[in-house]
A and B are shown apart, each in its own frame.
Chain A
């Protein structure tokens, strides 16, 4: 046999290698793949080939293809524990974008539970007017509490816009095609709760220790 020296590492349903190249590119760029209209085909591909892909990433890259389900839908992403010697490298989100992601998650869970589409201006308004949030945001981004001037607005607006661009790269949010001022929260945004679940559940102890 001509190809006997080959080892089969990935057998896909319907030999959908087009689907694989796209999904692989997404997953290795840190994107989350989910049950959303913008990712319908690619999500279906991962659903159909999950066991094969799981084995493939574990064997070839020592990474895990995770699957989670929540009330907004299900999603997939690639990750590994830091102690594992994976062949894939990782990058951290800048702290200012992490802070924004946590703020957005809190806002959605507590204030806007039924709104999955929000506008940038709405966030800027809230950050500038919420009596408990405004002092901290102004201290961090403007040095101290400031009047509602153009630089104040521009600084906060830029933080919101830049952060959303970063979250979009992860597949957590998506700017609306018809209105770039608005964005949608995607099912995979729930991953932030998975990352910080321990810290959130133990916040009282953390607070006592910090005090």
Chain B
């Protein structure tokens, strides 16, 4: 693997929460890479492992004895934490747990940007979708096996790869900014930017191809069945695609920011003298700062830490900002001097009272509706205790006739059907609808509720 040290560094940083010690992560991941690339080598001697730990454990201040102790400590920790184990010949191997874990990490850490992969997968996925979108059951299987396990994974990988490429670009530019002269820096930045922009264009093109899936689903006859499973699949799929398109847009924003900086390179470079002074200014402050108070803290925090107040040298003026208190926000002084006339104040009060009255009436109406809906729901539940099947359309018309309130009937239906679904009742909707002569302007799909 190219740039192995760099990859190990990225790995150690990225997965610090899982493997907290960076030496451990580097040792384990380098073993994993070696095993992956050289399938014949599966086990190691203890001294090989110790040598590897020594390589990645760098602490200049240690004596040889201290270093020896640290290496031994790390080696024992890796065995104890079951990242490593001994085989029958007493040689050291990566545990199954380690192998599985690093396999997942490997996919994340070495993402290869290859937009054409999405295009190829998309072609297969489209073909299988077309042949599977005739029944909801087939579509469910397709969704799990093709979309979730194949296409979504690749879309996610490519998005990660794009992010990775951009962060690598930033690191490279940050480094070169410190060392290269202006002309070379501009040329280097342009070259690197062009590569990333070109890759992003290709990725955008392949992401746009994903719309074909949405189109196929929009045209399938399953749309007409009102199947909730189909609606769920369609919604989840569209949400996933939207999410990754949004992530791709974000990478566009990041590229734009870097592009703006590259464009203004001349301005930045011309201020390098200021930067040197700024650095001196900072170190001068650091040297001149003093600790005013320091105490150990063990209160609500998980671990002990020191609470410190410091003072800065006199030449650092305090950073002061306008901060008005909330009281002043509510009753600003200017309100008195420039406020509205008394007539207008009186009008505002009466208008506010009217609005309050309106809001109170609305709230009362909503509460009344909720009470009635609950009583209709209880009524239906009672009926369901004695019957195996109920025609909900008739029930709906009854609500409408008794309450004479369409809003209540619609809201009530939504609430009742949701509750029944939660309680695992079967709800079947057909394409026919019911009209009642008492309510000629209202119709409802025929809905059957079954136990």
Contact = CB atoms under 8 A, between A and B. Distances in A.
A200 B317 contact: no
Nearest to A148: B59
Contacts of A101: 319
Interface in B255-273: 257-258, 260-261, 264, 267-268
Nearest to A201: B277
Contacts of A133: 286
A46 B170 CA distance: 32
A40 to B, nearest CB: 13
B170 A114 contact: yes
A201 B16 contact: no
A70 to B, nearest CB: 9
Interface in B324-360: 324-325, 328-329, 333-334, 338, 340-341, 343-344
Given A95-B311, A115-B170, A199-B316, A78 B322 contact: yes
Contacts of A140: 289-291, 308, 310
Interface in A137-162: 137, 139-143, 150-151, 154-155, 158-159
B173 A170 contact: no
A126 interface: no
B287 A30 contact: no
Interface residues of A, number: 75
Nearest to A113: B177
Interface string A103-137: 10110011111111100010000000000110011
B281 A199 contact: yes
Contacts of B301: 154, 158
Contacts of A29: 322-324
The 8 closest A-B pairs by CB, nearest first: A30-B321, A154-B305, A91-B323, A92-B318, A136-B286, A114-B173, A71-B264, A93-B319
A96 B310 contact: yes
Interface string B25-54: 000000000000000000000000000000
Contacts of B13: 121
A8 B344 CA distance: 15
Interface in A52-104: 60-61, 63, 71-72, 78-80, 87-96, 98-99, 101-103
A120 B278 CA distance: 22
Contacts of A98: 312, 316, 318-319
Contact of B289 (A105, A136, A142): A136
B424 interface: no
Contact of A210 (B275, B315, B325, B344): B315
B334 A9 contact: yes
Nearest to A119: B13
Contacts of B275: 109-110
Contact residues on B (Cβ < 8 Å of other chain), bracket: 35 or more
A102 B282 CA distance: 7
Contacts of B283: 132
12 contacts: A6-B341, A30-B322, A30-B323, A91-B321, A93-B318, A96-B310, A101-B319, A140-B290, A151-B303, A158-B305, A159-B308, A200-B281
Nearest to B325: A89
Interface string B403-434: 00000000000000000000000000000000
A110 B320 CA distance: 25
B274 interface: yes
A114 B305 contact: no
A25 interface: yes
A71 B304 contact: no
Given A111-B174, A116-B257, A170 B291 contact: no
A114 B258 contact: yes
Contacts of A87: 333-334
Contacts of B290: 140
A63 B285 contact: no
Nearest to B274: A200
Which of B254, B257, B285, B329 has the largest number of chain A CB atoms within 10 A? B285
A89 B323 contact: yes
Contacts of B320: 90-93
A203 B280 contact: yes
B322 A90 contact: yes
Contacts of B177: 113-114
A211 to B, nearest CB: 10
Interface string A22-56: 00010111100000010000000000000000000
Which of B253, B258, B267, B310 has the largest number of chain A CB atoms within 10 A? B310
B309 interface: yes
A115 B329 CA distance: 37
B289 A199 contact: no
B322 A109 contact: no
Contacts of A80: 322
Given A3-B344, A71-B260, A90-B323, A60 B334 contact: yes
Contacts of A151: 303-306
